[in-house]
């Protein structure tokens, strides 16, 4: 029998603040680390190939990266939509009511009444 890889979620609590902060730091560092290759590529394009316009485009593209990194790092992650396994006591099903039928009245024949 094989166990599930992910544990069953038994609470609706969000992730811990420390885990959320670590994830935000990783995102910020990753985006900021993209600036270094951009500047290296711009230098290679300008000095190695003489493509100064392409180098300028790469440098201009790397200028808004710090602002993007701050916005992405300060953004709170959305709540995960997961079904929370909460305890629910078993509610017995209500019995199905039987339809009420009016009792049938049987009259005696009139000749029997006279006797």
Mean pLDDT, the chain, integer: 80
More confident residue, 71 or 10: 71
Tokens 């990753």 -> residue: 30
Q: What is the pLDDT of residues 85-114, one digit of tens each?
A: 666 677 667 777 777 887 777 777 767 655
H or E segment and range at residue 72: helix 65-74
Phi-psi region of 29 (alpha: psi -120 to 50; beta: other; left: phi over 0): alpha
3-class SS shares of the chain: helix, strand, coil, % to 5: 50, 0, 50
Domain boundaries of the chain, sorted by first residue: 38-76
In 3D, which of 17, 18, 53, 58 has the Cα closest to residue 38?
Answer: 58
């Amino acid at each position: 029998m094989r166990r599930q890889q992910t544990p069953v979620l038994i609470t609706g609590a969000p992730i811990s603040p420390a885990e959320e902060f670590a994830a935000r730091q990783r995102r910020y560092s990753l985006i900021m680390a993209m600036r270094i290759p951009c500047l290296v590529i711009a230098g290679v394009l300008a000095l190695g190939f003489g493509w100064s316009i392409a180098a300028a485009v790469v440098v201009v593209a790397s200028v808004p990266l710090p602002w993007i990194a701050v916005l992405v790092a300060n953004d709170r992650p959305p709540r995960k939509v997961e079904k929370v396994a909460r305890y629910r006591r078993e509610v017995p099903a209500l019995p199905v009511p039987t339809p009420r039928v009016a009792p049938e009245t049987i009259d005696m024949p009139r000749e029997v009444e006279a006797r």
